[in-house]
A and B are shown apart, each in its own frame.
Chain A
Amino acid sequence: MRLYRQHSVLPGFPLALGFTLLYLSLIVLVPLSATFLKSATLGWDGFFEAVTTPRVLASYKLTFGAALAAAAINAIMGLLVAWVLVRYEFPGRKLADAFVDLPFALPTAVAGIALATLYSSKGWVGQFAAQVGFKIAFTSLGVTIALTFIGLPFVVRTVQPILEDLEKELEEAAASLGATRWQTFLKVILPTLSPALMTGFALAFARGVGEYGSVIFIAGNIPLVSEITPLLIITKLEQYDYAGATALAVSMLLVSFTLLLAINLLQWWTQNRRGSRI
């Protein structure tokens, strides 16, 4: 009761909440609902047909496969980066730490053309790959590299605070009980980090599935080979296939919302873990 009274003395609640709800409805909720309604006009059969053509299925396979691979790479490399940034002192540590957020700050189109140039068969990295017979640009490998770039900060920034809070006593106890450093990492540190690591993985995956700007240049967008689902939506729009674009958009929104739900559950789990230890 005390809590309720405490919260009710401040003014401005109806205005603030009213404005928030109105703004959110106009900008986000109404347009999203309109999209779902539009897809409903297709009917179930029309919808199902539109989202299961061979070209669409190929784009799903590429989009989800590359996003999954990139998120897995980021889970490992992001953990390594977070570990090094939190646990070790080295010159330039602060700079490296700030730099991790570059993919958040750099516009995706800029990242896109930079990566495409870097990994083309004449690029700084691409030429060496070409010498050993690897083609990166215009393949699913290129898509995976772009999604790795864009997803890295999600893992680092989710794992970092948990790693900072980690109690050294547990590790010392494990060591004094005779565990090797590696055993301590696997049996003590990793289990504590795993909810955060999974959250970071899921965030990177979710971002990768919807990513557009950083991918399309390096992907080359060859139908059935390197065409991601968001690009296919744009292609359909340019062909005035509004029904097809809407159906694809709704299928992607359903995936996004499912991922959002999973991420919220994971974060709730992470925080419970974190809270219970304090």
Chain B
Amino acid sequence: MSAQTLTFASHVHHVHHAARSETPWVRRSLTAAALVFLALFLLMPLALVFVQAFAKGWETYVSALMDPMALAAVKLTLLVTLIAVPLNTVFGVAAAWAIAKFEFPGKNLLTTLIDLPFSVSPVVSGLIYVLLFGMQGWLGPWLAEHDIKLIFAVPGIVLATIFVTVPFVARELIPLMQAQGNDEEEAALVLGASGWQTFRHITLPNIRWGLLYGVILCNARAMGEFGAVSVVSGHIRGATNTIPLHVEILYNEYNSAAAFAVASLLAMLALVTLALKSALEWRLARQIDADKDEE
């Protein structure tokens, strides 16, 4: 089942006992090789973002962020995220409720379909909406007649962002809710709780860390999405430019300091995301251990 890889559960690392079976020399060399690789491939690009952002001084940095076009991009990104993330969160909870708590034919197919957007190239994810709602698309002429503009406008950006972030919450919750089973909810119902009360007071507290984990990953991708949004945006400055698109424009204008200054906002978002993610993995590992102790 594709939902199983790269999920919360696979990130939870239990305490392990280090094997002392290689010679210390081999151990040290392998560790050094891995760390050099990580430093070269991951740490250096990240460090470079901050070094370049401040290369022309603090003032250039601040003025790049205070630029009206940059502020407009930040505002649009926040707006798009505030629509896309809650919608995909509701979807994720509903999908996980149906898939994890009930048996029905076609369940595996549905799980695969939910993960589908992760397999589609970001560029294609944007293109499908252009082909549906754009002037050359199926519904384009009808929309134009009624003066509705979806493509090269904010609604298109929202749609493309929703598409690329559909799986995040669902794929964290499905394995988690499957592992927790139905016993607690059934007990609540037997004791006379309504369906909503059961969900609110039993299910939601049980899944809260996993839910938050999915939301954080969904949020990071929604704010940082580039390819899909690039296709549907039309790149109208101050109107349809998100933060990543603004970074691209600045970079292509050889305004490297400003590009990296704005990019540093997204790099900080990435660092916060990683920190929260690690903290939640630790939380969930504890929860799983506690659940095991109860049994």
Task: Kindly identify which residue among B121, B198, B263 contacts A252, using a CB–CB cutoff of 8 Å.
Answer: B121
- Report the number of A-B residue pairs with Cβ-Cβ less than 8 Å: 319
Chain B residues in 8 Å Cβ range of A242: 131, 134, 136
What is the CB-to-nearest-CB distance from A202 to chain B, in angstroms, rounded to a whole number? Answer: 10
- Given A35-B128, A90-B31, A111-B45, the answer on whether A212 and B122 have CB atoms closer than 8 Å is yes
Give Cα A106 to B267, complex, Å: 6
For residue B131, which residues in chain A have a CB less than 8 angstroms away from its CB? 31, 34-35, 38, 242, 246
Interchain CB contact under 8 A, A230 and B122: yes
- Chain B: minimal CB distance from A201 (Å): 12
Q: Does B172 contact A (CB under 8 A)?
A: no
- Chain B residues with CB below 8 A from A102, complex form: 42, 46, 270, 274
Instruction: Check A20–B94 contact: CB distance below 8 A.
Output: yes
Asked if B30 contacts A108 (CB within 8 A), the reply is no
Contact of B6 among A106, A158, A237 (CB under 8 A): A158
0/1 string, B178-198, CB within 8 A of A gives 1: 000010011001000001001
With the chains together, A89 CA to B17 CA distance in Å? Answer: 9
CB within 8 Å of B: which A239-278 residues = 240, 242, 245-246, 249, 252-253, 256-257, 259-260, 263-264, 267-268, 271
Once A20-B94, A97-B13 are accepted as A-B contacts, the answer to whether A3 and B103 lie under 8 Å apart by CB is yes
Complex alpha-carbon distance, A203 and B95, angstroms:
24
Size class of B's contact patch? Answer: 35 or more
Among A31, A88, A237, which residue has its beta carbon within 8 angstroms of that of B132?
Answer: A31
| A177 lies within 8 A of chain B by Cβ | no
Which residues in chain B, 10-25, are within 8 Å of chain A measured between CB atoms?
10-11, 13-14, 16-19, 21-23
CA distance A8 to B186 in the complex (A): 10
Contact with B along A192-226 (1 / 0, CB 8 A): 00000001000100100111110001000000000
Q: Is the CB of A257 within 8 A of B119?
A: yes
Contact of A24 among B114, B121, B199 (CB under 8 A): B114
Query: Which B residues are within 8 Å of any A CB, using their own CB?
Result: 1-2, 4-6, 10-11, 13-14, 16-19, 21-23, 26-27, 30-31, 33-35, 37-38, 40-46, 48-49, 52, 91, 94-95, 97-99, 101-104, 110, 112-117, 119-124, 127-132, 134, 136-138, 159, 162-163, 166, 182, 185-186, 189, 195, 198-199, 217, 220, 223-227, 230-231, 243-245, 247-248, 251, 256, 259-260, 263, 266-267, 269-271, 273-275, 277-278
Cross-chain pairs A/B with CB under 8 angstroms, 19 sampled: A6-B186, A12-B199, A20-B94, A24-B91, A31-B128, A35-B128, A77-B34, A80-B37, A96-B34, A102-B42, A102-B274, A106-B46, A106-B270, A109-B226, A110-B224, A113-B247, A117-B256, A212-B123, A230-B121
